[in-house]
Structure 1
Amino acid sequence: MTNIKMKVEIWSDIMCPFCYIGKRKFDNALEQFSQRDNIEVIWKSFDLAPGLKTDTSIHSVDFLQKHKGMSEAQAKQAIARVTDFAKETGLDYDYDKIVVANTHRGHQLIHLAGQIGLQDAMKERLLKAYFIEGRNVDDVETLVDLGQEVGLEKETIESELNESQFAAHIEQDIAEARNIGVNGVPFFVFDRKYAVSGAQPEEQFLNVLQKSYSEWYAKQDHPELEVVQGTSCDVDGNCD
């Protein structure tokens, strides 16, 4: 085998509660997978609210009422359900502290971290900052702090957030999502052959990992060859 790894691409958004839950479930499944060192996880951007204006004064209940058309009771029930679901995976969401923020800059930071192999760490840190710590993921100073925590240089982060070098990468991710029919996130694509939509149970992720990897591995070890036939001798000594 070479250093080539099987790719798992994951489309998600920082403000998506099921994306954090799905990541945790996938991470747990990957930890159980015997060939995890041969898996390359690639985080893809998906913007659930591209036109959203960051508003540090609005409560998450009010946000759901305004942007999702829910009643106050429906919003509170939705938050309670997803909070309980998150707790089952060890995540303590705090919707009273969540800052309603545009996530475009956060996606830039994830792409930047990917250049030095820190993409997964950056994704995890941003999700925790948003859902558990109630930090503003559209604030430059906050993003600089979070980026430095995972190993990025302050000057590099500031340069990226000012110049938006990875804006095209974000748009490319979103275009790819449309092309392959991604209508919601999280969305997990295994070797561009199998897909899992949503925060599925760990067992489901593990099953798809095993199936897709076994097929990918066989393809790497036994490539299909196009053979041009000519005169030769076979193993029985017959020559023609």
Structure 2
Amino acid sequence: MKVEIWSDVMCPFCYIGKRKFENALSQFPQKDQIQVEWKSFQLNPQMKTEPGKSINDYLAEVKGWAPDYAQKVNDHVTNLAAEVGLKYNMDEAVVANSFDAHRFVQFAKTKGLGDAAEEQLFKAYFTDGKDTSNHETLVELGSEIGLNASELIAVLQGTRFSEDVRNDIYEAQQVGARGVPFFVMDRKYAVSGAQQPETFLNALEKSFSEWEKANPQPLVTFAEGSSCGPDGVCD
């Protein structure tokens, strides 16, 4: 059964939500039958990459917050991240447009490394203070998870996977996502936000139960060998 997750690398609750979903999935008996697909979403498509600007100043500009209030919000989010074992260094976060980071993930998905790419991006952004729009940084992150550097460079220097990113963003609107993280189970049930593991587990159980009824598995697995058919022909 497919679980689709819309997220943006600059969304602090997306990384927290990833951990909480993974916690739920680890408790799910049929976890081996769950296919997770990461989908692109941009919270601010017009964002300019500004390495010298603090995340507090950015939030103050776009949300109209006072800088000290932005700091309190980030401190709160940092504490929530720590509860699930994540270390956020928000003061080091680089304000960066995420479009190429999403193209990076789309390329990684073609190699079966979508989840690894998401994990690398989140850690780079929230923990390591790296510029996730920088092509050299993305190539470095890609190499660490096993992507071919030359192939990735070619992707980033061109426009490949741009339409895939845009299609995911459009698709998010069609399934009712107004923010991220947004989890969709079998295109029937949705969970919005970084919910508790119990919420994810309940959604997995309900959606999988219905999916399993619609997709019954064979009761017996067998190896084929020499045999005779009802027509009397033996081979």
TM-score (norm 2): 0.91
- What is the number of residues matched between the two proteins? 217
Residue of 178, 182, 198 corresponding to 1:183 = 178
SS at match of 2:199: helix
Output the CA distance in 2 between the equivalents of 1:120 and 1:164. Answer: 22
Which of 86, 91, 104 is equivalent to 2:86?
Answer: 91
Shift of 1:120: 0.3
Instruction: For residues 137-182 of structure 1, give each alpha carbon's deviation from its aligned partner in whole angstroms, at most 9, with x where no partner exists.
Output: 0001000000010110011110111112100001100111111221
Whole-Å Cα distance in 1 between the matches of residues 63 and 143 of structure 2? 34
Matches within 5 A, 1:1-240: 6-221=1-216
Compute the displacement of 1:18 (Å). Answer: 0.3
What is the identity, as a one-letter code, of the residue corresponding to 2:19? R
- Distance apart, 1:20 and its partner CA: 0.3
SS class of match (1:152): coil
Runs of 4+ in structure 1 over 6 Å off: none
Distance of 1:185 and 1:35 partners within structure 2 = 26
| AA of the residue aligned to 1:165 | R
In structure 2, list runs of 5 or more residues that go unmatched.
Answer: 218-235
- Deviation per CA, 1:86-126, whole angstroms, max 9, x where unpaired? 11111110011101101111100101010011000000010
1:67 CA drift (Å):
1.4
* 2:215 counterpart SS class: helix
CA RMSD of the aligned region, Å?
A: 0.9
SS of equivalent to 1:10: strand
State the alpha-carbon separation in 1 of the partners of residues 207 and 175 from structure 2: 18
AA of the residue aligned to 1:108: R
Separation of aligned partners in 1, 2:193 and 2:38: 15
* Unmatched 5+ stretches in structure 1: 1-5, 223-240
In 2: Cα distance, 1:101 partner to 1:91 partner = 21
How far is 1:73 from its partner?
Answer: 2.1
Identity of aligned residues (%): 50
